[in-house]
Amino acid sequence: MAGEKVTQAIFLIWSLLLTTSLGRQTNFSSFPPDFEFGTATSSYQIEGAWNVDGKGWSMWDHLVRTAPESIYDNTTGDIAANSYYLYKRDVEILKELGVNNYRFSISWPRILPYGRPDYVNPYGVAYYNALIDELLANDIKPFVTIYHWELPQNLNELGGWLNEDIADWFADYARVLFENFGDRVKHWLTINEPDVHCYFGYESGSHAPRIISPGVGYYECGRNILLANAKAYHVYDEEFRASQGGEIGMVISMEWPIPKTDSADDHEAVQDFIAFNIGQYMDPIFSENGNYPKRLIDRVAAASTKQGLNTSRLRPFTSEQIEYIKGTADFLGLNHYTSKLVYRNESLEGRFSVPSKHDDVYIDELRHPSWPVDTGFVHEYAPGFYSLLIYLKNTYNNPKIYVTENGCSTSTGLNDTFRVQYYRNYLSALLDALAEGVNVKGYFAWSLMDNFEWSFGYTLRFGIYEIDMNDPERKRVPKMSALVLKEIIRSRVIDYNYDVDPYAPSGAFVRTASIFTIILLATLVIILRIY
Ligand code: BGC
* Ordered mean pLDDT values, 10 residues apiece, the chain (531 residues): 53 47 48 98 99 98 98 98 98 98 99 98 99 99 99 98 98 99 99 98 98 98 99 99 98 98 98 98 98 98 98 98 98 99 97 98 97 98 98 98 99 97 98 97 98 98 98 98 98 93 75 61 73 66
> Strand 477-478 vs strand 465-466: parallel, antiparallel, or unpaired?
antiparallel
CA of 115 to the centre of ligand 1 (A): 23
Mutate to test the pocket of ligand 1, among 453, 459, 460 (most ligand atoms within 8 A of CB): 453
Given 203, 220, 405, 453, the catalytic residue: 405
**What's the rounded Cα separation, in Å, for the pair 494 and 420?**
11
Domain containing residue 408: CATH number: 3.20.20.80
CA of 413 to the centre of ligand 1 (A): 21
| Residue 513 confidence (pLDDT) | 53
Specify whether 405 is catalytic.
yes
Would residue 408 count as lying in a domain? Answer: yes
- Is residue 283 lining ligand 1, measured as CB closer than 6 Å? no
- Is residue 466 lining ligand 1, measured as CB closer than 6 Å? no
DSSP label of 300: H
Would residue 458 count as lying in a domain? Answer: yes
| Residue 23 confidence (pLDDT) | 34
User: Which atom of ligand 1 is nearest to 453's Cα?
Assistant: 10
Q: What's the total number of domains in the chain? A: 1
- Is residue 453 lining ligand 1, measured as CB closer than 6 Å? yes
Residue 502 · residue 483 · CB < 8 Å = yes
Residue 112 · residue 152 · CB < 8 Å = yes
Would residue 21 count as lying in a domain? Answer: no
- Is residue 192 lining ligand 1, measured as CB closer than 6 Å? yes
- Is residue 195 lining ligand 1, measured as CB closer than 6 Å? no
Would residue 202 count as lying in a domain? Answer: yes
CA of 59 to the centre of ligand 1 (A): 17
Would residue 418 count as lying in a domain? Answer: yes
- Is residue 462 lining ligand 1, measured as CB closer than 6 Å? yes
- Is residue 202 lining ligand 1, measured as CB closer than 6 Å? no
Specify whether 288 is catalytic.
no
Where b means 16+ CB within 10 Å and e means fewer, 19-38 reads: eeeeeeeeeeeebeeebbbb
- Is residue 272 lining ligand 1, measured as CB closer than 6 Å? no
**What's the rounded Cα separation, in Å, for the pair 329 and 285?**
7
Mutate to test the pocket of ligand 1, among 405, 444, 464 (most ligand atoms within 8 A of CB): 405
Q: Cα torsion at 468, 469, 471, 473 (round to 10°)?
A: 100
Would residue 293 count as lying in a domain? Answer: no
| Residue 521 confidence (pLDDT) | 73
Mutate to test the pocket of ligand 1, among 206, 250, 454, 459 (most ligand atoms within 8 A of CB): 454
- Is residue 193 lining ligand 1, measured as CB closer than 6 Å? yes
| Residue 504 confidence (pLDDT) | 87
Would residue 369 count as lying in a domain? Answer: no
Would residue 284 count as lying in a domain? Answer: no
Strand (E) or helix (H) holding 144? strand 141-147
CA of 447 to the centre of ligand 1 (A): 9
CA of 325 to the centre of ligand 1 (A): 25
Among protein residues, the one with the nearest Cα to ligand 1's atom 9 is: 42
**Structural domain of residue 394, as residue ranges?**
40-255+326-339+380-500
**What's the rounded Cα separation, in Å, for the pair 197 and 60?**
12
Percentage helix, strand, coil, to 5, in the chain? 45, 15, 40
